[in-house]
Chain A
Amino acid sequence: MKKLIAGAVLLGASSLAFAQPGCGVGAMIWKGQSGAAPHILAATTNGTFGNQTLGMTTGTLGCDTDQSVQSMAMFMDNNIDKVARDMSRGSGENLDTLAVLLGVEPADRESFRKVLQDNFATIFPSSDTTSGEAVDAIVSVLEQDKTLSKYVAA
């Protein structure tokens, strides 16, 4: 099940930059403008720019990490500001998504949320933290936790 979800996340990701621990460069959090003025361009209403065809990639840019961590990294790269927000609150669907991607059992969810909230300042030491760095930090924070370390063991 976990593998299937992870696969689904990778689906259609051909055009995305990967942010994995040690591979590629993740987006900096709290980016400024989102690029071309989205309200004016009709792009997202009636069109898609670029060639986002249906297809799948499981290409991992030569990186050899645990698949669940990779999927988490990809999700983080797209949603890092929302993950950071949920993490600071200790709740929210983006944080739950991380838990799903790492395969955290429902019984461990509460401590997963709490550990990440408590370690917010470690995971995001500054506003320039990249998503790759944050993923690294999440992995090492979880590794140090007795109950949660099993979810990031390679």
Chain B
Amino acid sequence: MGNLVRFGLVVCWLAQFPFALAQSPTSDGEPLHSDPAWLTLGHYHPNTLGGGFTSQADDPDFFLSENGKHSPEAELRATLQAIQQAGDGNGHAQCRFPARTAWLSEAMGLSLPEVSCPGYQQWADELNTSSVTLVFAASYLNSPSSMFGHTFLRLDPPRTDATTNLLLASTISYAADAAAHDSELLFAYKGIFGGYPGVTSVTPYYEKIRLYSDIEHRDLWEYRLNLSKAEVDQLLAHAWEIQDRNFDYYFFDENCAYRLLALIDVARPGTQLLGEVSTHAIPSDTVRWVLEKNLVSEIHYRPSAATEVAYSLDNLPEHHRELAAALATGNLQAESSALAGLTDEQRARILDATYDYVRYQSEAEGWPREYAAPLSHDLLRERSTVEAAPDTPQPPPPAVRDDQGHDTFRASLGAGQIDGREFVRMSLRPAYHDLLDPPAGYRQGAQLQFLGLDTRYYTDNNEWQVEQIIGVEIRSLSPRDAFFDPLSWQVGFGGRRTDTGSKRVLTPYLDGGAGGSWLLADQLQGFAIATADLEVDDDLNRGYDAAPGADVGLLYQASRLSLLGGLKTKAWIVSTQHRQDQAYVRSGWHFLPGLSLYAEFIREHHYDRYQSTWQAGFHAYF
């Protein structure tokens, strides 16, 4: 009985519409509900199995129809019906879904009842947006979780007004709404497998700058989009629709960058940025797509606090740098006569650089407030007495932007020899960058690789072997100097071939290390790392083995040529007691954009015998 009543109601409800309106075909005969623009507005994606669609929105309030999540058609009917209702106020469908309303009324030429939406109106007025800028926070070397970068949108007020200040502009971000008490591990787990709701938030740009530029030391790249006023309005209208609506958050695909792409797709139907996303949306890649689709009119670089400090210290003459160091360590007072003999400009540069350095150390290295605060105050008070000095010079933008670096997917083909056996190498690495990849656009000395697969086909017995599976591999070689003393470190896990003395077996491994690196010349650094390796396998005597060790080497990274060479030693101490010593040279020659030639040679002493491995081939990036 209940079903019958419900069925009857549905029929009655459908009967309210003239048939043509309900079907609403577009000019090319396709029904309106399968128009890509409508599917984008509803965040619908075709189901992997079977026909039909599912929306990525995970919030019932995002839909007007009960079947809205799975039926673009039902949602379109419900929306059409709701926006044509008379009525008023913030709860009206026109006010809740201004972007859908705008699109439908345009597509169907509707004349809709006038509805006043004070909430939406006030929100849009206060955002006062005339253009939209995509902001990319570059990766920061020592922070693995930042290495993919981050993107958000900035809503820029009209520039015609002399009082415009972009620091006050609002930004829209999409992020996982994580509980503050979740550990990094739980955060990673839930981020990958789902479990966090994703929320859209609006904050002033100055807060973002504080976070990324001052605290995390990440340069910001600002890509002003060439959206028309109508397109900007539609983007905002859709941002309003998804505000507070839950979309489950996933690190690799449905992440910060992804949801912003959807907003741009809504703003300019047909852009199809989301169509570019296959398995993962790395923010730097998404910036590339936005550039490729000709959406960018202007690019601006905003150096981080760390970049500014390094630049202003680098630009001090040697003697003045010593004065700055003495000021920062408290060996020299700001009012001291050592500074008095200098010109106004020289004093200003020294005081500015020192203050920025003290601020940097307070944020990054946790210099205690009792020390840093009075010192900061002294420096500024002294600086305020220097009036005529010209503005501090700003760091120039890097010659190569982050989005101009090599693409992150790498496929390799090569050939080589190990202990006289010849092999062909085939290898894939979905993301992201290794020390020997073309360095332009990436941090010097930084490596982050995910999910690599390295295979070898041995020609002597026609056997295809997995040589290595990379889970994650991070290396961070940040050079130390008189002002900065970062730790160099590395961590990795996966599976790799290991020599048991009689055969090479695929073994799960976990390794790590920490040490220091030092800049020897402009693009050359030396490093010394204490390492620890763990391998687990049945073929090992006791099922596992561990090795403390050391890795000392040189890294040269220039635009055309990368070189890494060094000496590695490990002392396996559990299952076998023996040393494994290695001399290695690896190189990459970046002779074409997107294509590199690689070569490596390893000479190893292990189980009382010497063995050589060499290989060479090509890396293609796309």
Contacts and interface: CB of A to CB of B under 8 A. Distances in A.
Nearest to A5: B168
Contacts of B377: 29-30, 124, 126-127
Interface string A119-141: 01100101110000000000000
Contact of A8 (B175, B196, B204): B204
Interface stretch (B81-89, B95-103, B143-151, B560-568): B143-151
Residue among A7, A46, A56 with the most chain B CB within 10 A?
A46
A89 B368 contact: no
A149 B470 CA distance: 65
Given A34-B363, A46-B255, A88-B384, A97 B180 contact: no
Contact of A117 (B366, B372, B387): B387
Nearest to B302: A93
Nearest to A101: B168
Contact of A11 (B126, B214, B370, B392): B126
A88 B380 contact: yes
A127 to B, nearest CB: 4
Interface in A71-96: 75, 78-79, 81-82, 84-85, 87-91, 93-94, 96
A47 B178 contact: yes
B376 A11 contact: no
A106 interface: yes
Given A48-B178, A78-B206, A124-B380, A39 B216 contact: yes
Contacts of A78: 206-207, 210
Contacts of B363: 33-34
Nearest to B158: A1
Contact of B165 (A4, A12, A43, A97): A97
B244 A84 contact: no
Contact of B196 (A47, A84, A96): A47
Given A4-B126, A46-B191, A120-B384, A103 B203 contact: no
Contacts of B620: none
A68 to B, nearest CB: 11
Interface string A49-73: 1111111100000000000000000
Interface residues of A, number: 65
B362 A75 contact: no
A17 interface: no
B127 A11 contact: yes
Chain A CB within 10 Å — which of B126, B142, B161, B201 has the most? Answer: B126
B384 A45 contact: no
Nearest to B173: A48
Contacts of A1: 161, 163
Given A46-B255, A121-B381, A12 B203 contact: yes
A64 B123 CA distance: 23
B387 A5 contact: no
Interface string B381-394: 10110010101100
Nearest to B250: A46
A41 B187 CA distance: 9
Interface string A95-124: 011011101001000000010011011001
A51 B177 contact: yes
B342 interface: no
B191 A11 contact: no
A121 B391 CA distance: 21
B201 A127 contact: no
A40 to B, nearest CB: 6
Interface in B147-172: 148, 150, 157, 161-165, 167-170
A144 interface: no
Contacts of A32: 362, 366-370, 372-373
A89 B176 CA distance: 39
A39 B206 contact: no
B556 interface: no
Interface string A12-48: 1000000000000000111111100011111111111
A150 interface: no
Interface in B249-264: 249, 251, 255-256
B204 A9 contact: yes
B352 interface: yes
Given A50-B180, A78-B210, A103-B163, 11 more contacts: A12-B204, A41-B145, A44-B211, A48-B175, A55-B244, A56-B122, A85-B359, A97-B165, A97-B206, A101-B168, A120-B381
19 contacts: A5-B168, A7-B125, A8-B126, A9-B168, A11-B202, A11-B204, A38-B211, A39-B216, A47-B176, A47-B191, A48-B199, A49-B178, A54-B201, A88-B381, A97-B165, A99-B163, A120-B381, A127-B373, A127-B374
* 5 A-B pairs with the lowest CB-CB distances in the bound complex, closest first: A32-B369, A42-B145, A120-B384, A54-B243, A30-B373
Interface of A: 1-2, 4-5, 7-9, 11-12, 28-34, 38-56, 75, 78-79, 81-82, 84-85, 87-91, 93-94, 96-97, 99-101, 103, 106, 114, 117-118, 120-121, 124, 126-128
